[in-house]
């Protein structure tokens, strides 16, 4: 599917602002979704386009992901000056020491690990990923009935602990002891930077929260300039849509060319 003239006009309008934030999710936007999250790699062209954008005046580029910072940095190959926002906003690559948990949050994660040990016995096909502030249940690749049962059990487990933030996604449920949210993180970063406009691309439920937060930004002028893009199918609050990761690379390259002009 070719880009619409409306999207091209929106790119040109966005690129003309003095200070902009260009942010994207990683999985499903720059890198195809895969069975093992650590096998994920960005498609050709996406990261170089982001790096070139980050070198332009008045342009801040950020990867905003549910992944923890270390694997996000490793798999994306991102380097300064790209900003990495990990763990759904709970980690920031610009902050020394990354994420700090208090005693209650650490105790909550310990109890969660104990319960997830029993969960693994009941759902042996599910995989559990450990993050600094969360545990994530993955079911991608499982038969549909098995996956649905494991995801439902993970959400039920999370609901038993009021201190956990439960975030479902595509074949995943994240159980977080410290959670900010992509939307909150995006608006906070834009405000900190004094950005005139924000571009954000995503593909999942958590990205929909980002699209909604940008539309509801207290800076109403910036909210009206937000350029949001959904990658792939599904209902969305984003203004525009592209088919897949390769179309996303083409979009970023077009944004780079417009910004350079």
Please list, in sequence order, all residues whose beta carbon lies within 8 angstroms of the beta carbon of residue 65, skipping any fewer than 6 positions away: 25, 26, 27, 72, 84, 85, 86, 88
Name which of 186, 188, 192 is nearest 212 in CA terms: 186
Residue 114 burial by CB count (10 A; 0-12/13-18/19+): exposed, middle or buried? exposed
Catalytic residue among 25, 196, 204, 207: 25
Distances (CA, A) of 213 to 7, 162, 208, 209, 228: 21, 24, 9, 6, 11
Q: Is 113 a catalytic residue?
A: no
β partners of residue 129:
136
Residue 80 CA to residue 90 CA, distance in Å, equals: 19
Q: What angle do CA 84, 173, 41 make, to 5 degrees?
A: 45
By annotation, the residues acting in catalysis are 25
């Amino acid at each position: 599917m070719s880009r619409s003239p409306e999207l091209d006009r929106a790119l040109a309008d966005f690129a003309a602002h003095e200070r902009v934030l260009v942010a994207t999710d990683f999985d499903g936007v720059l890198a195809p979704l895969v069975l093992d999250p650590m096998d994920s790699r960005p498609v050709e062209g996406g990261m170089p386009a982001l790096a070139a954008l980050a070198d332009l005046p008045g342009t801040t580029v950020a990867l905003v992901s549910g992944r923890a910072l270390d694997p996000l940095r490793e798999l994306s190959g991102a380097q300064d000056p790209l900003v990495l926002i990990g763990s759904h906003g709970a980690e920031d690559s610009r902050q020394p020491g990354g994420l700090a948990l208090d005693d209650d949050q650490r105790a909550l994660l310990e109890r969660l690990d104990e319960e997830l040990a029993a969960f693994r016995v009941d759902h042996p096909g599910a995989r559990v990923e450990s993050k600094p502030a969360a545990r994530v249940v993955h079911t991608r690749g499982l038969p549909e009935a098995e996956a649905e049962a494991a995801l439902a059990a993970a959400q039920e487990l999370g609901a038993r602990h009021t201190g956990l933030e439960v975030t479902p996604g595509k074949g995943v449920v994240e159980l977080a002891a410290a959670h900010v949210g992509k939307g909150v993180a995006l608006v906070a970063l834009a405000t900190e930077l004094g950005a005139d406009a924000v571009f954000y691309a995503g593909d999942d439920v958590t990205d929909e929260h980002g699209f909604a937060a940008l539309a509801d930004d207290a800076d109403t002028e910036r909210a009206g300039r937000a350029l949001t893009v959904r990658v792939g199918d599904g209902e969305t609050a984003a203004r525009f849509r592209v088919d897949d990761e390769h179309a996303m690379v083409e979009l970023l390259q077009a944004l780079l060319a417009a910004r350079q002009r």
